[in-house]
Structures are given as structure tokens and as C-alpha cells.
Amino acid sequence: MTTSSPFALHQGVLHAEQVSLAKLARQHGTPLYVYSRHALRQAWQSFQDGAAGRDVLVCYGMKANSNLAVLNEFRQLGAGFDIVSGGELARALAVGADPARIVFSGVGKQVWEMQAALEAGVKCFNVESEDELRRLDEVAQGMGRQAPVSLRVNPDVDAHTHPYISTGLKENKFGVAIEDALRIYQHAATMDGIRIVGVDCHIGSQITEAAPYMDALGKLIDLIKALADHGIVLHHLDLGGGLGIRYTDETPLAPRILLDQVFQTLEKHALANLQLILEPGRSLTGNAGVLLTTVQYLKHSDARNFAIVDAAMNDLLRPTLYEAWHNVQPVQPRPMQDDTPRYDVVGPVCESGDWLARDRQLALEQGDLLAIMSAGAYGFTMSSHYNSRPRAAEVMVDGDRAHVVRPRENIQALFASEAMLPD
């Protein structure tokens, strides 16, 4: 088996590290998420190599994949965490995360979430509006504390990515306009419950070039200098996450290439003393997972051929939501011919938008097992019970061993917490 990928063919069968995916499907059923521990470690190491001894805090953007096994792996490797909800805070703390290495992002933080984060002692709140700043000040004062704050500014930079995952343009809901940032920072400096510690931006996701980051950095440097002129000194600069992965023919941007350019620019402006925070999610987990699914029926027509599988949009929403492309690999591939049919790979959910892949040439038979590749990020975390379908199991492979890190839900679990009205 080759070592270039954690998912490779061995004796005609696709494996995760040293474990046959066909064997895992027989043992645990499908749909089934399978992750590679080695792939998680490889992805993390790319950021460590890129940091090269510089003051960089990598906070895993856990919305990409929040399974406790994944979180604990990154905690052991030395990661901080980027959270966007009180639930994510609870998950991070459940695996023993250091609160001083947690940044709290998100546009709609509620009072109870602020209170929980202040009680835990998180490193920073990435504040995204003036209303949020005022509320955080009130909550912190009510608890007799000061909230460490980094204002998330919107630099109006086009990340050249899908509009649903672009977050740095004026029309996006995230952050405050960069031209308003100085005024808001000055207001924050007068608040008893606020302690200014940094500046933050996040311009989008699945970014494969350095230019958008550097455009944003240039605007942030201008802001940092203006703040210093007004007596507001920052301790860290948060450039967010968003580094892309290879789904099809993309050339991902290596962390080292980005970090070298960032620090060269900071040194040029005498700002290399700032701690740099990154919030990668997809780039740490995306290629570390696959979704296994079984072909239930093959349906042929003059207009289109369908491979109807047991996974659906409730298991992997990205294709329906973003028209995202995922490679589809048969776990035990057959030889392909010129006249091998092309299929839309679709699920059983009652929506025309329920598809996982379109127009793929596949040599298939009923009962075949398929692997939907690059499904380790925004896969299970975006899954649902739509059509009253239990969510898939999750398995972590470590060398020649496989561990169930979340069992398959049963039907009864779908409505165990519901109640009927009395007769």
C-alpha cells in the first residue's frame, strides 16, 4: 500500500491506513464516516513546520469536525480551539482543552454563552458588532470581570471562493467594516468590562492562494498602526482560517508559504512581536475522512442514470448546499471501459437536491460499496435527522486498528426526547 495517502488501494481494496474499508462496512454498516488518525497528524504537522519556531497559535476551527476523538487528538498535539457556540466550548472543555488557548468567534453570541466563556477563562472573544461589544461589556461587569476582546474586522477582500463560504466582503454578515474599526476600538477602550488584546479577520474558506490573505493583512497593518497612534496597543493578530484542500484538481496553499509571507510583511512593518493566531478547520480534517455508502439500486433512463445509495443529503450536505465536488471511489473497483455508464450518485431523501455526485463514470453493480472522499470536514457536523434518518456512525482508524468514536444512532433515539399531548 502506498504511503502518500491514508486512503489507498491494497490488493484491489481501498483501505484507511492498514484497515480495509470493505471490512469496516461489514462490521459497522453504512453510511459510515471513517477518519484516519495519521492524516490528522500529518495535517497538523504541516502547520507546525510552517510556524518554524515563530509565535503562532493554531486554534483548530472545530465546526469542521467536532467529534471528541478528533478534538482530543488535536489537544494532545498542542492545538488551541476556535469555537462559535457554547456547545463547542463545552466540547473543547470536555477533552481537557486549555481555555487560555480558546478563541470565541461567531456573530450571535448569547448571554449564557458569554458567561460560560468568561467563567472558563477563554483567551479572547472575537467581537463582530457594536451591539455585541456593549452586551459583552455588561455581562463582564455583571460578573466582576474583564472580557479579553479582539474586534473582527471585515477588510472587504474577495477570497475568490464560493459565495456561501466567503466571509470578508462588505455584503457578508461577519465582522465590522474596517473603516469603522478605529472608532469602535476607541469606544471599547472606555468600557470597564472590556480589555483589548488583538484584532481578527476571517475572509473565507477553501482559499488556495496567498494573495487574499496578504491583501487583508495590508489593511490590518494600517489599522494596527492607527490604533497605536491612539494609544491602543495589541498583543495578537488573528488571520482566521480558510486554507483549502484538494477535492479535485486544486493546488492547496501550504501553511509554510503563507506564514513566510505573513512574517516577512510583519517584520517589514516592525510588527513581528505580535502573536499570530490561525484558525484552520477544513485543512486539518477535510482529507482525513471518507463517507462509505452502499449502492441500493441502479436506475437507467434515456436522460440520466442514477446510482441510488444509502447515504443522503442529511449525511453529507455539502453537495446540495454548495454544489460541492467530492471524488467518488469504488472500494473494490472494476475495470472501466469506454462505454462504462455515467451516474448521478443520489440518496433516498425526498428532495430532488439529494445528490452526492453528478455525472461520474463508474462501473457499478447493486450492493457495491463507494467511498465519498474528502469528507472529514463539514460532513458529520452538518448532518441531520431529515426524513427521520438516524445519523451515521463514526470510526477512527489508527494503523491496523479501528475505533468506534460515535455509534450509529438507532430509530428510537430519533424521538426519545419528544412527547405527545395528553388525550
Q: Across the chain, which distance is largest between two alpha carbons, in Å? A: 74
Q: For 318-331, how does the pLDDT look when each residue is reduced to its tens digit (9 = 90+)?
A: 999 999 999 999 99
> What pLDDT was estimated at residue 171?
55
For residue 213, is it within any domain?
Answer: yes
In the chain, which stretches have pLDDT less than 70?
Answer: 1-4, 158-173
- The C-alpha cell 426524513 sits at 387
> What pLDDT was estimated at residue 142?
98
- The C-alpha cell 468590562 sits at 193
Q: For 196-232, how does the pLDDT look when each residue is reduced to its tens digit (9 = 90+)?
A: 999 999 988 889 899 989 999 999 999 999 999 999 9
Locate 118 and state its grid cell: 468568561
- The C-alpha cell 453504512 sits at 30
For residue 334, is it within any domain?
Answer: yes
Query: Do 41 and 171 fall within a single domain?
Result: yes
Locate 282 and state its grid cell: 477544513
Query: Do 95 and 240 fall within a single domain?
Result: yes
Q: How far is Cα 48 from Cα 141, in angstroms, rounded to an integer?
A: 38
Does 267 count as an annotated binding residue?
A: no
Query: Do 304 and 271 fall within a single domain?
Result: no
For residue 214, is it within any domain?
Answer: yes
For residue 165, is it within any domain?
Answer: yes
Does 41 count as an annotated binding residue?
A: no
For residue 423, is it within any domain?
Answer: no
Q: Which residue among 260, 283, 306 closes a domain?
A: 283
Please pick, among 59, 124, 201, 350, the residue that the annotation labels catalytic.
350
For residue 190, is it within any domain?
Answer: yes
Does 297 count as an annotated binding residue?
A: no
Query: Do 64 and 146 fall within a single domain?
Result: yes
For residue 225, the domain's CATH number is 3.20.20.10
Query: Do 264 and 371 fall within a single domain?
Result: no
Does 343 count as an annotated binding residue?
A: no
Locate 382 and state its grid cell: 452538518
For residue 87, is it within any domain?
Answer: yes
Does 394 count as an annotated binding residue?
A: no
Query: Do 111 and 128 fall within a single domain?
Result: yes
Q: Which residue among 283, 310, 326 closes a domain?
A: 283
Q: Which residue among 283, 315, 347 closes a domain?
A: 283
Range of the domain at 159: 37-283
Query: Do 271 and 313 fall within a single domain?
Result: no
Q: Which residues pair with 199 in a beta bridge?
A: 151, 237
> What pLDDT was estimated at residue 178?
92
Is 350 a residue of the active site?
Answer: yes
Does 318 count as an annotated binding residue?
A: yes
Query: Do 232 and 137 fall within a single domain?
Result: yes
Query: Do 185 and 114 fall within a single domain?
Result: yes
Q: How far is Cα 319 from Cα 159, in angstroms, rounded to an integer?
A: 20
For residue 346, the domain's CATH number is 2.40.37.10
Domain count, the chain: 2
Does 391 count as an annotated binding residue?
A: no
Q: Are strands 393-398 and 401-406 parallel, antiparallel or unpaired?
A: antiparallel
Query: Do 212 and 154 fall within a single domain?
Result: yes
Query: Do 202 and 279 fall within a single domain?
Result: yes
For residue 2, is it within any domain?
Answer: no
Query: Do 204 and 221 fall within a single domain?
Result: yes
Does 342 count as an annotated binding residue?
A: no
